[in-house]
Amino acid sequence: MKRGGAPWRRFIGVMSGTSLDGVDAVLLALRGEPPTLQWKLEVHRAAPFPDALRRRLAAAAEGDAVGVPEIARLHYALGETYAACVMELLGEAELDPAEVAGIGLSGQTLYHQSARANGAGGVTFQLGSAAVVAERCRVRVVSDIRAADVAAGGEGAPLVPYADWLLFRSVDEGRVILNVGGIANLTAIPA
């Protein structure tokens, strides 16, 4: 897609949250480079988790005794669920996977403790096989974003403030962006 100037590049973002209601996927077109990035939301898809998968995820997240085999099965089942949502999104957009530059996959947080709460560095663990998503969709996948931030000493949410600044800043007015999720947070962006 090209509209006078730099070409638009398409990316897909996929995530599921602690509410365990399902998967959200978006197709986003981006043009330019930060900090003058232009963006356009092209398609959004929400797919509920099948009841059985939601119950299994809830049991694991609530600390029920589940073994490594069940965690591994959940990891792959989530990968399949994410991939199916992406393929439905691509179908709705009538877009070939080769036209997508990449998929950002947050994964399903099974456990997270911040460095401040832990006292010795944060720990986090997300499920959802990026390898399964890449193989099924034939698109490169960036994942373990939260884990990478925690490993670098962060709190595990490195993208939201930067994306908020890139996408919603204004020369004329200050803005506050509210991210409502398992834990709500604010990004304050001065004019």
- Note the pLDDT tens digit of each residue in 11-25: 999 999 888 999 999
The answer to whether 157 and 182 are in contact (CB under 8 A) is: no
Upper half-sphere CA count for residue 62 (Cβ side, 13 Å): 9
The answer to whether 5 and 31 are in contact (CB under 8 A) is: yes
List, in order of start, the domains of the chain with CATH numbers: 9-157 (3.30.420.40), 158-191 (no CATH)
pLDDT at 44: 97
Give 179-186's long-range contacts (Cβ < 8 A, gap of 24+).
181/17, 181/18, 182/17, 182/18, 182/19, 182/109, 185/157, 185/160
- Specify the pTM: 0.86
Q: Is 172 exposed, middle or buried (0-12, 13-18, 19+ CB in 10 A)?
A: exposed
103-126 pLDDT, tens per residue? 999 899 888 887 776 677 788 899
The pairing of beta strand 141-142 with beta strand 123-127: unpaired
24-68 pLDDT, tens per residue? 999 999 998 887 888 899 999 999 999 999 999 999 988 888 899
